[in-house]
Amino acid sequence: MDNEILTSELTQILKTYHAAKVRYQHIALSSREMAILSKLSLSLRTLLPEYSFWDGNDPENHNAPPALCSRHDFIDAAFKKPHQGLIVDRPAYWLQRWNNLDKQAFWSALSSRHGGHNVIIIFPESDEFKRLNLNYFTAKPVDGLPVTLWTSSKKQLF
């Protein structure tokens, strides 16, 4: 996959779905290909250098919550603590110990919160997410890339 194409697509996604005119600005990006997830992460960090970054593969180096934090503490850290914006790469590190209702509460919070700073989640596409989604997010394939953009199923524009 060409990095210029990925950067161009991500720039367009950010302008359309992560912009000030959008009420529910939090988005998620998924892929079944792990190499693509790494490229997404690197590209977003380059495009949004002011955003805090939590890496589920290396959480101790990014001021992220501890592995055993509760759903409540994780949601507070993601949405209520001050950030210029937040990118969470592979949140399964934190979510893996939670029950399904706690996981649904996190995805619901991501889809329904507005105001404050923007949050972007990057995660491996899975059948579990599709089961947990419960209409919180709408899938939008990204043209020419093995990536799915997930936006809030709520009405987007003010």
Instruction: Please enumerate in sequence order all residues whose Cβ is within 8 A of that of 79, keeping only pairs 6 or more positions apart, or say none.
Output: 109, 113, 116, 117, 119
Q: Name the more confident of 145 and 18.
A: 145
Report which of 120, 110, 115, 111 is spatially closest to residue 50, judged by C-alpha positions.
120
CA angle in degrees (0–180, nearest 5) for 77-78-80 = 65
**pLDDT band at residue 102 under the 50/70/90 scheme:** very high
pLDDT at 158 (0 to 100): 41
pLDDT at residue 59 in the model: 79
Range 87-102 average pLDDT: 94
Q: How far apart (Å, rounded) are the C-alpha atoms in residues 51 and 117? A: 9
Are the CB atoms for 115 and 107 separated by under 8 Å? no
Task: Say if residue 17's pLDDT is above 80.
Answer: yes
Q: CA–CA separation, 91 vs 75, rounded Å?
A: 12
Whether the per-residue pLDDT at 101 is higher than 80: the answer is yes
Model pTM? 0.91
Domain locations in the chain? 23-152
Task: Give residue for tokens 């290396």.
Answer: 58
Supply 151's token pair. 């936006």
Task: With a cut of 50, say whether residue 31 has pLDDT above it.
Answer: yes
Strands in 36-118 per DSSP E:
52-55, 86-89
| pLDDT tens per residue, range 106-158 | 999 998 887 778 999 999 999 999 888 888 999 999 988 999 999 988 765 44
Q: Which residues pair with 140 in a beta bridge?
A: 149
